[in-house]
Amino acid sequence: MKKNIWKNPAVQALVASLICIVLGLLIGYIVLLFINPSGAGEAIVSVVKNFLNYSKTNLRLKNLGNTLVKTAPLLMCSLSVLFAYKVGLFNIGAAGQFVVGSCACLISSLGWGWSWLPCLLFTVLVGAVYGAIVGLLKSYCNVNEVISGIMLNWIGLYTTNMILNTVKEPTSPYTLHMASEAPQALLPSLGMAKLFSGNKYVTIAVPLAIILAVVIMVLLDKTKLGYELKATGNNKNAAKYAGMAEKRNIILTLAIAGALAALGGAFLYQTDYEQWSVTQSSVPGMGFNGIAAAFLGGLHPVGAIFSSYFIQHITNGGAYVDLTKYSSQISDLISSIIIYLCGFVLFIKYAMNKSIAKREEKQAQQGKLASDTEKGGGGK
C-alpha cells in the first residue's frame, strides 16, 4: 500500500500552519476591504513585506534586525508555553513570567548597577521561582495552572509597576534608558550589530534564543528528564506507579517554563530597544502571543523558531500600512487577526485527518465495487 504523505504528522503540522497563515491574511484583507477598499491590497502586501518595503539593502537589514530583536523574546515565551504543554500543562502564566523577568532584569541593572550576565541569571532565578509558585499550587493544592497563572499575571504586572517606579525617568512613565544609565547591563552584540548594518539592538539574545530552542528539543526528546516529564504529562498515574516524583516534575516543569519566559523579558529590555512603562494597566501581549507562536509552530521547538519569527514579522510589518487610508490601530488589528487564526492549527489538523479518512473510505468503496464486478465473472 502506498504511504499517504498527508498522514505524516510533520507534514500535517506544516501544512496546517501554512493554511492558518493564508486564512489569516485573507481575513485581514477582507477586513481592510470593508474599511477602505482602495488601499486594501497595498496594505496587506506591505504587512507581508515588512522590511522589504525598503529598497536599500542596509535599511532592509536594519529593519530585519528590529524584527529579530523582538523575535527572541517571543520565541522564549513560545518555548515556555510549548515546554509546559508537552508535560500536559497550559502555561498561560507565561505572560506574567515575562513581566517579572522584565522587572528582574531592569531593577538589577538600572537600580543595582549589575552587569549583563548577573542580570540574566537573576532573571532566570526570579522567573523560575515565579513559575514554581504555579507548580506548587498545582501539585499540593490542586489549583488549576490556568487560574493561578492568570492571577499571577496581574500580581506580576502591578508589582513590577511598583518596583520599577524607582528607576523611571522623572518626566515620563518610562524606565531609564539602559544605554545611557546602565550600559554595563546591555547584552553584548558579539558582532551581531554589524551583520545588520549597525543595528545596535541586535545582540546575542537572538542566537541564544535559537540555541535554547534546540536545548529544549534535546531535553524533551533525548534525556531521562524529558522522558519523565512527558510521562507525567501524558499519564500522571502511570508516572506515579513507575516511581517518578510526579509532584516534583510538575513544579520543575513550571519552574523551567517560568525561567524561559522570564528570559524573554531580559532579551527584550536588556537591549534597550524598549523601555517599560510603569503606568501600563494591561499585561503585555508577548506571553500571550507566545501561545499562538507555540501552536503555529506545531508545538515543536524548531517550529517555534519559525512561527515566532513569522508572527513578529507580521506585527512589525503592520507599521508599514498607509496611515492616510487607515487609522493607526490597523496594524495591530491585522496582526492580531493573523495571530488569532494561528491558534486554529489543531482544528485544521483535525479537519485534514477527517477529510483523509473520508477519501480513503470512498476509495475503499470504489475498490469494493471494482472487486465485486470482478468476482461477478467467477460466480459463486
Partner 1 sequence: MAETQYAIEMLNITKKFPGIIANDNITLQLKKGEIHALLGENGAGKSTLMSVLFGLYQPEEGVIKKNGQVVSIKDPNDANDLGIGMVHQHFKLVECFTVLDNIIMGVEPTKHGFLQKKEAREKVLALSEKYGLQVDPDALIEDITVGMQQRTEILKMLYRDNEILIFDEPTAVLTPQEIEELMQIMKNLAAEGKSILFISHKLAEIMAVADRCSVLRKGKYIGTVETKNTTMEELSAMMVGRNVNFHVEKKPSTPGDVVLDVKGMTVASKVHKNNAVKNVSLQVRRGEIVCIAGIDGNGQTEFVYGLTGLEPLVSGSIALCGQDITHASIRKRSTSGMSHIPEDRHKHGLVLDYTLEDNMVLQRYFEPEFTSKAGFLKRGPIREYAEKLIEQYDVRSGQGPVTIARSMSGGNQQKAIVAREIDKDPELLVAVQPTRGLDVGAIEYIHKQLVAQRDAGKAVLLVSLELDEVMDVPDRILVMYEGEIVGELDPKKTTQEELGLYMAGAKRDEVSP
Decide if 70 contacts 87 (C-beta within 8 A): no
Is 364 among the residues that bind partner 1 (CB under 8 A)?
A: yes
Is 359 among the residues that bind partner 1 (CB under 8 A)?
A: no
With contacts defined by CB under 8 A, name the span among 64-72, 200-208, 324-332, 362-370 that binds partner 1: 362-370
Binding-site string for partner 1 from residue 171 to residue 210, where x marks contact by CB under 8 A and - marks none: ----------------------------------------
Q: Name 369's Cβ contacts closer than 8 Å, sequence gap at least 6.
A: none
Q: How many residues bind partner 1 (CB under 8 A)?
A: 22
- Taking the CA atoms of 320, 324, 325 and 326 in sequence, report the sign of the dihedral they define: positive
Q: How far apart are CA 36 and CA 151, in angstroms?
A: 40
Cα angle for residues 52, 20, 316 (degrees, 5° grid): 30
Q: How far apart are CA 334 and CA 323, in angstroms?
A: 13
- Residue 83 or 276: which CB sits closer to partner 1? 83
Residue at grid coordinates 534564543: 209
Q: Least CB distance from residue 241 to partner 1, whole Å?
A: 4
Is 352 among the residues that bind partner 1 (CB under 8 A)?
A: no
Q: Contacts with partner 1 in 264-303 (CB under 8 A)?
A: none
Cα angle for residues 184, 100, 118 (degrees, 5° grid): 30
Q: Least CB distance from residue 61 to partner 1, whole Å?
A: 39
Q: Name 142's Cβ contacts closer than 8 Å, sequence gap at least 6.
A: none
Q: Contacts with partner 1 in 217-256 (CB under 8 A)?
A: 222-225, 227, 230-231, 234-235, 237-244
C-alpha dihedral, 278 to 74 to 319 to 190, nearest 10°: 90
Is 378 among the residues that bind partner 1 (CB under 8 A)?
A: no
Q: How far apart are CA 266 and CA 187, in angstroms?
A: 9
Length of the chain measured in residues: 380
Is 346 among the residues that bind partner 1 (CB under 8 A)?
A: no
- Residue 190 or 218: which CB sits closer to partner 1? 218
Q: Least CB distance from residue 228 to partner 1, whole Å?
A: 8
Is 354 among the residues that bind partner 1 (CB under 8 A)?
A: no
- Residue 2 or 56: which CB sits closer to partner 1? 2
- Which amino acid type is present at position 163? I
Is 140 among the residues that bind partner 1 (CB under 8 A)?
A: no
- Residue 194 or 368: which CB sits closer to partner 1? 368
Residues that bind partner 1 (CB under 8 A): 222-225, 227, 230-231, 234-235, 237-244, 361, 364-365, 367-368
